[in-house]
Structure 1
């Protein structure tokens, strides 16, 4: 199938907003503030920002050059580029997308349930008990199905008619709603301590906990930028030849990072104004602690609905990109209609996610596999391909549609060959260590 026969973005803004939507997901609004709280506050922010711009941005450009040059899904892209043996990289990214969406959808179902619960004030008498009642079991499975149905509905309409149109609405809505909540949070008594915790790094804490913070920060960078999932390869495959990949990539990274930071400006003033310990609550933190906060604040029902609507839009915008990764492969290689492909794959992903709807321990295991193994391994393999196998063509593709000098492109290539893979490798090894400790294979951390 030629590029002219494939659906494409109708505008550059459409691509940027779709990619930002992929990046601005639950990782930003659900996990980012509480990863920050669990890893030392502003100390985590410092490492995270370094990871985003020195590791995440170059890695995103690596995915872009593969996707646009090949004009194919993540698996076929490597075949199209003449490196069939490297298609395992695309397979790994596609598996990552499939795996992540299976449990991500369960959390998306929680969000839908919390929108309803906020409107009714259902959790006001006990946020922890309410979360326990809706986060596992038949009700969690039902709303897991509802969320997947929404994702399938968007992807079934294609790139321009479904994904681009929906993200043009969702991404600005996320920013406006979060901005409004951040302004409101700044008026809370006691909230100033939250800004200090969030924005004033403790250098001694950073030095003492760097080996704990590093894998969490890099994993968060991958998750929030949708790297290692095949999403950016897929989205770039629908991109025009004249678009500037560095400019688009920088825009996406900056917007995504600002949304993540904005989410923290909402969460931490609320928590500190009510004396809630940052990072408490684990995977259910955004639901237990913030729902408990809304229960104590004037206008809590309205605030709760607004916050969880933001969370739902963020979840949908990312989930759409994950389903598109796996859908694009069959759409490129079969005559089956896109709606049927989306429904069939969505059903399979729903089935894979059912076990994670039976308890936080199972969902946490799904999440740990993604963070500590699948994403860093997928990104590392892609970097090795772009940096050492496809280097010359990658540099040419990066410069296409830009005024980027050859020396600047070669500087990017040097990063992709050396600094970025080294950082990802360290993260992968630390992540494997974490998995081994959690599984009881190691009694104590190595570092």
Structure 2
């Protein structure tokens, strides 16, 4: 959420920042609405003051036994007008807030300019894609013999659902547990088991609402299935004032996530890449503003560490202005190598949101040696998407006989098993 006071102070800078996202100038219209709102607030204050003053004058006139009729008419008129002013002010304030809430975060200065994913910038490549002496397969060809049951998922729930059985289910569980253990044990994230049903306000706070309602699943009157645990974890600090000594806060959780994929019709309809329900380990950091750039690098490095430990080749991309998410001010995507597809695919997205989400959820902190409060900065990242990591393991560790070697770090989670054998 953007601060109308900052927009008033430098409307040209605000329009220039959002122009990098491809938006037309909006500052003038926002400031005009704000001026109307403030004028109505002033009118209400003046009217209320005059009402109080006139009420006192009525008492004085009565004490002199004069006729207070004109004053009483004036007070009655003010009393009738005040609710009208308040209703007008509320309507304009609501309109202003709706317009502000629909605007994405401004990109940081170092974010590359671009229209779409083709203009993202390669930062670094890690690891060497494996070579195979046989024709490699994609995960949807390897997986069924190991327990990826696409037909059963569709029969139970429809398209973009998959049932995992046997070796596939165990590998998925092992991956999630390994990620949680690494993030909580080595990187200091506090493990959380959050609700996966949240209210509208929580989704508004992290920026999914109201703009992306069609991408979500609604349950009941005011509950929604989370599209990512970012929603639950970030809202832990909603409407709170923290002490600076409490920062940074770092949370991680393994949860199912639910997305309608309304904007992805026809994309990745095969396999596990794009599902309505999937498991993901999420990282969220709450930090002081001056720490957010360093925290962004730290968070991304944590996700990279998981990929390195699993022996999966990957690269880091800095997203351009046209490919960033709504709430992000800067985003790094980690893309893992998939031999079956002969390409890199996104497996983690790590973003700093500056104070954009904090303003929407009113999350602040009290600096140790300053008066007043400031908004915190929030960051989130995947550490990692479990289903996509399972895909990467199947494809990178596939064997000619249809089996899949188990990465060494996962073997303790599978009772020492070093190979997943296909079913007869």
Q: Fold-level match, TM-score > 0.5?
A: no
The structure with higher relative contact order (CA 8 Å, sep 6+) is 1
More helix by share: 1
TM-score by length of 1: 0.21
TM-score by length of 2: 0.22
